[in-house]
Amino acid sequence: MKELQLPLVRLTPEQEAFRHEVRSFLDEERKKGTFATHADSWLSGYSAEFSKMLGKRGWIGMTWPKEYGGSERSAIDRYILTEELLAAGAPVASHWFADRQSGPLLLNLGTEEQKDFFLPKITKGECFFSIGLSEPNSGSDLASLKTRAEKVEGGWVVNGMKTWTSGAHHSHYMITLCRTSPQDEKRRHDGMSQLIIDLSAEGVSIRPIQFLTGEHHFNEVFLENVFVPDNRVIGEVGNGWKQGMLELAYERSGPERILSTFPLLQEAQRLLTEQQDQKGLAEVAKLNARLWSLRNMSIGVAQMLEGGKDVALAASLVKDLGTLFEQSVAEAVRLLLPMRPSVTAERLLDRLMAESVLHGPGFTIRGGTTEILRGIVAKGVASA
């Protein structure tokens, strides 16, 4: 089946040199104490300063046109950058969504004014986005969402609420999927639009939802008569569902779907090597074989996305296999080395283990649950 055949990407010497540059930068900053390695750092590692540092180097929105602050680098360069950041467990959560999907969405469908206004700020690491999809009664069944926008002169008035909004308390804007015409049970995906909501606007209130670790990652966002000017509608009014689905390929196939627990695997391999534990390293080798094949797939999808190809099916597969892999790293490593997992531990292995176990369940939920993804994959395969 040709949909499952992804291109093998061979990195050029220039690309390998770039990897080297990124890695040296990260090593240095870690030594300086700018950041400490954490698992799942793309969801929980917030640091506006670190984002700004990356922005200065041209490492946010690096594939975008120069006129909008980008560096016109290739998708593979961006892939190298992001996988190095994740492998090092660097704090990249602040700008993650803007770089991964909000920016590209605006580049694709935004007006000239929107691109001029948002993109340069994003690339400087000064403008962060959140994703406003889920609502209390609309999770997997997103099309049942209730948040609605009513047309008024010069714009829209939005009422409703979003939930599980990662990073809303750090972000400046939220791309909000809402209803711009009444729900029609027969055409469930019609009548929705994507609006850019300024999170500092009147009528927006953000309430933290405590994560099971006690940390604060996600939020409830209440929208009460929030005015959104016409020029903050993305693409076409009423076409929000389709536009949103296009983002999903970016959202599902990246290295963050395979590397969330990589720092733990790396630390385990280091300790097992130190102890010359061949049996333990053999288990690491099996995990590494999975990671290697996943990474090939994930880079292949990045390459195809750049070529404008439809990769929805392959992207869903990467997320399904990748997030299960992320979880199994913790489950396998805990059996290889004696440990006392704890988020407050001094020992790196204990702390990374605790982060991987406690954040683990979220991997196969966020960005579409495994069950829903498999439905999409099965449909895609059956109709291929």
Q: Which residues bind ligand FAD (CB under 6 A)?
A: 43, 130-134, 139-140, 164-166, 218, 362, 365-366, 368-369, 371-372
Strand partners, 175: 131, 196
Of 346, 355, 366, the C-alpha closest to 265 is 355
* x-or-dash string of contact with other proteins, 276-315, rule CB under 8 A: ----------------------------------------
Rounded Cα distance, 179 and 237, in Å: 10
Rounded Cα distance, 322 and 278, in Å: 26
What 3-state DSSP class applies to 106?
Answer: helix
Q: Which residue stretch of 24-32, 195-203, 238-246, 329-337 sits at the interface with other proteins (rule: CB under 8 A)?
A: 329-337
Cβ closest to ligand FAD, residue 181 vs residue 369: 369
Rounded Cα distance, 336 and 352, in Å: 14
Cβ closest to other proteins, residue 120 vs residue 375: 375
Instruction: State both tokens at 307.
Output: 């070529």
Of the candidate residues 13, 33, 214, 308, the single one contacting other proteins (CB under 8 A): 214
Residue 117 CB coordination number (10 Å): 17
- Interface of this chain with other proteins, residues 102 to 161, rule: CB under 8 A: 134, 137, 139-141, 144
Four-CA torsion 266, 371, 220, 127, nearest 10 degrees: 50
Q: Is 357 in the site for other proteins (CB under 8 A)?
A: yes
Rounded Cα distance, 205 and 274, in Å: 51
Q: Which of the listed partners (ligand FAD, other proteins, none) does 137 bind, with a CB threshold of 5 to 8 Å by partner kind?
A: other proteins
Q: Is 235 in the site for other proteins (CB under 8 A)?
A: no
Which amino acid belongs to residue 190? D
Of the candidate residues 374, 378, 381, 384, the single one contacting other proteins (CB under 8 A): 374
Query: Which residues would be at the binding site for other proteins (CB under 8 A)?
Result: 134, 137, 139-141, 144, 163-164, 209-214, 218, 327, 331, 334-336, 338-345, 354, 357-358, 360-362, 364-366, 369-371, 374
